[in-house]
Amino acid sequence: MYCDGQLISGQRFPSPHPSVELSVITYWAGGLKVKGLLAEPAGKVAGDGFLYLRGGMKNAGKVRPGRIIQFACEGFIVFAPYYRGNEGGEGNEDFAGEDRIDAFAAFKFIENHPRVKRVHIFGFSRGGVMALFTGLQFPRAASLVTWGGVSDMFLTYEEREDLRRMMKRVIGGTPEKYPQRYYDRSPLFHLENLQVPVLIIHGKKDRHVSVEQAHRLESRLKLLNKEVECWYFSDFTHYFPPKENRRVVRNLCQWMKQKSKGRGRWQEK
């Protein structure tokens, strides 16, 4: 009998960094065998887990080892699910529908890692939706960061004409004809029970995910008296310049570590 987040197998993956070990993991999620990439700082020191939820769809926005290693170099044990139907995993990715179970199961997987004592959630682009739903599912998470993240699928459909065909196919129609399906995929409307502190990072010149997505999320969280901090960057788009990217990564990792200290005493396993 399978259990969500249960390890099926792990296989070493070549790492370009001498101090970070990479493995391709196969784990159970909703009865499917789903794959993801695990990055572990060398050694046996316990630390924080980091659930990296990528953006895009299928081959657009694939998990990149170099990106995962960035966070592992900050001391985190990082797990990035590929989502169902990708890289040999079973099922079909469906743009924050049933595939959000892959994120929930990935949280359980990294939480059960023998070196992990607390888990942070990070979502980039479409991964922002996955991160927010995961934060709702697991109020014990230490923190949540959404970077260039989607929060409202209605707005995504409105703004991204190039994605409409895919969204109609995967979601099953337009927002006008099936509003409930888009409502169910929009965490913006489901935040009442969120207990995890949130950091919003967004470039104001972002044309992939408009800054309005961040503004709506910020406003909604503040209206509900949730803990939220926002870092807006006037000159940046969806992708930050390498130097600034590294700086923001360092800063957000420090923010996460500070939130760990404020989330109560770690429980020994």
- What beta strand segments (E) does 19-163 contain? 20-29, 32-41, 47-53, 77-81, 116-124, 143-147
Distances (CA, A) of 9 to 6, 26, 68, 80, 249: 9, 5, 20, 15, 30
In sign, the C-alpha dihedral spanning 58, 89, 14, 73 is positive
* DSSP-assigned beta bridge partners for residue 230: 200
Catalytic residue among 190, 215, 238, 260: 238
Annotated catalytic residue 125? yes
DSSP 98-119: TTHHHHHHHHHHHHTSTTEEEE
CA–CA separation, 40 and 113 (whole Å): 10
108 Cβ partners below 8 Å, 6+ apart? 4, 5
DSSP 248-264: HHHHHHHHHHHHHHTS-
Catalytic residue among 15, 125, 143, 186: 125
* DSSP-assigned beta bridge partners for residue 238: none
3-state secondary structure of 40: strand
Annotated catalytic residue 238? yes
Catalytic positions are 125, 238
